Structure 1
């Protein structure tokens, strides 16, 4: 409990430290604790410490862990941060409070249909293929304006843009590019930055950072 709470305070303090010279309010940065691969007994200390935003990659894993946790901690907010298959759209809408990986027309249609059926609108980040890496998924940069228009036409709330910059390359230019894309398209939310680069992401305008290792240690 103390260890988890200490790590949480360390990350929050880092975010506040970076926000100060950037003239940003730390409360405008949502820290998403990436709990994928970690069992409920490792998640619960963070919930006990008053942290509510968590991220999971896989629908099945989230289904196994989170219904019971949400019963005990109804304020918890669950973010779907992994690539999402269209055939899991209904399950995702039932589970997640925010989805970070809307990146293609087939998924857009599946999510819109699932939201209509469930009578629930779940905010979605449009994932952008910021480094031109097809294996990571993401909407091509050149197609972002048109895709955002289709998302809005489907009455899906646009939470913002999300990216995963290429590994082992300085991430700042990619974060800056995502921020410019957001400005150019009238979008405010920026889901970018993980344990190794969230400070850079906050400096460049991230509104949501997805931090796992810095909070939980190595994956289970």
Structure 2
């Protein structure tokens, strides 16, 4: 599916559900994609991208930022505390804040560096053991803990279970965000981004539908 087709589907779903045009932004997830595919999307004018790993992003995006203006980069994969400094210097948003130790590390680095990316708390809406994120029952307390550390929580993020109706999880995330005064919702991927738009997503994360199947070494 072409980039333009996905953007049109987002706009159509916004219109269908009465949302403001442009209220949902597309994060093009470029992890393990060949550089020429990323450049092709950049050449089409897209500037918002997501990466799963700090190391991979560090090897790709500094050079691309020298060549293209206005790039915005989101970390959408798990973050180890020993990579937090590098992540804060490289990314404009970190979508995977999921534990107190990481929050404390970012709060300390915020003071040291004098800046901080946008921060999203990842919520494990499906309560899956193998998946990162705070449990829904713990989300309010964790958000409050982050705020007590001096961190501004800009959004929430989730990855629903593959075998469950995603709209239920998107609605749950939106409910948690609303009661905590949080505006941004990162939810929805290649197979369900239209449902995410309908539930209020402000960011949808689409990879293979834009770039084609990922190329793993």
1:92 to 87, 93, 114: 87
Distance 2:154 2:21 in 1: 18
C-alpha contact 1:122 1:156 (8 A) present in aligned 2: no
Deviation at 1:124, TM superposition (A): 0.6
> SS of the counterpart of 1:28?
coil
What's the CA shift for 1:26?
3.1
Alignment partners' CA distance in 1, 2:197 and 2:21: 9
| Mapped partners of 1:27, 1:19: distance in 2 | 8
Q: Distance in 1 between matches of 2:165 and 2:212?
A: 23
* Whole-Å separation in 1 of the counterparts to 2:87 and 2:104: 14
Structure 2 Cα separation of the partners of residues 51 and 57 of structure 1: 18
The residue that corresponds to 1:7 in the other structure is 2
Counterpart selection for 1:133 from 119, 128, 132: 128
| 1:28 equivalent in structure 2 | 23
For residues 130-173 of structure 1, give each alpha carbon's deviation from its aligned partner in whole angstroms, at most 9, with x where no partner exists. 00013111011111111111222222221211101001221111
Structure with the larger helix share: 1
Distance 1:147 1:10 in 2: 38
Q: Paired residue for 1:159, among 123, 139, 154?
A: 154
Superposition map of 1:30-109 within 5 A: 30-109=25-104
SS in 1 for 2:60: helix
Name the CA distance, whole Å, in 2 between partners of 1:219 and 1:117: 37
C-alpha separation between the residues in 2 aligned to 1:157 and 1:208? 18
Structure 1 alignment gaps of length 5 or more: 1-5
Superposition TM-score, scaled by structure 1 size: 0.95
TM-score by length of 2: 0.96
Name the structure 2 match of 1:116. Answer: 111
Please, which moves more after superposition, 63-72 or 155-164? 155-164
